[in-house]
Amino acid sequence: MPLLRSTPVAGPEDVARLRRELLKLDAWAFWAVEFEPASGASFAVLGVTGAFAVAACGLEGYLVVEGRRFLVDGRAIGGFREVKRAAKVLRGRLIAIGSANTDVTPAIVLTRAAAGAPRERGGVRVLRLEDVVRTVTARERVLDPSTAERLARQLGPVLSGPVRRPSEEP
C-alpha cells in the first residue's frame, strides 16, 4: 500500500467555517491570525491558554479510527506532518519575537465530518468544529491577555468579527 501524504482537504468555505468558529472565542482573551494557505495550517490562535496552529479539513462523513489511520468515509485525513510543521514554524516565530511560553498545539478541525470526542495522533489534536472553542479555552492559563495580544499582532493581522473592543479614551 503506498504511503499517503496530503494536506487536509479544505476549501474556502471550510476555512470560512473555521474562521466563524474562532470568532466565537472571547475577544479580550484570544486572538486568531490567518496563515498563508501553503503553511500547513489555516490559523494561529494565541490567547491566555497558549498558542495553537489550526488546520481545516473539509472531508464529509463520519470519522473512524483504524489503528493509526483516521478515516472519513474511507478517505484518510492528511496533513498531520504539515500542521505539526506549521506549529514548529509558529513556535520559532514566537521565540523570535520574545515569547517566554513557546508551546504550540497543532490541531486539525473537521468542518463537515461527524466525529466523537476529540482525539490525538502523534501530538496533533483532531476535533469537530463545535469542539474548537472548548478545546482552546479549557487549558490552563499560561499567558496574560496583553502579552497574547501583542504576540498575535506581531504575527500578522488579527481576525476581527462582529464584537468590537471599546476604544480607549485619553
Does residue 20 lie in a domain region? yes
Does residue 161 lie in a domain region? no
CA distances (Å), 131 to each of 9, 102, 110, 128, in order? Answer: 19, 23, 10, 5
pLDDT tens series, the chain, 170 aa? 344 444 457 889 999 999 999 999 999 999 999 988 778 999 999 999 999 999 999 999 999 999 889 999 999 999 999 999 999 999 999 999 988 877 999 999 999 999 999 999 999 999 999 999 999 999 999 999 999 999 999 999 999 865 555 555 55
Does residue 165 lie in a domain region? no
3-state secondary structure of 107: strand
Q: How many CB atoms lie within 10 A of CB 95?
A: 11
Encode pLDDT of 26-56 as tens digits: 999 999 999 887 789 999 999 999 999 999 9
Does residue 1 lie in a domain region? no
Q: What is the pTM of this model?
A: 0.87
Does residue 6 lie in a domain region? no
Does residue 130 lie in a domain region? yes
Q: What's residue 166's pLDDT?
A: 53
Does residue 136 lie in a domain region? yes
Q: What's residue 2's pLDDT?
A: 41
Residue 136: CATH number of its domain: 3.40.91
Does residue 27 lie in a domain region? yes
Phi-psi region of 122 (alpha: psi -120 to 50; beta: other; left: phi over 0): left
3-state secondary structure of 145: helix
**Rounded distance between C-alpha atoms, residue 90 and residue 85, angstroms:** 9
User: b/e string for 61-81 if b means 16 or more Cβ within 10 A?
Assistant: eebeeeeeebbbeeeebbbbe
Q: How many residues does the chain have?
A: 170
Q: What angle do CA 163, 114, 53 make, to 5 degrees?
A: 50
Per the structure, the complete domain to which residue 96 belongs is given by 12-155
The number of distinct structural domains making up the chain is 1
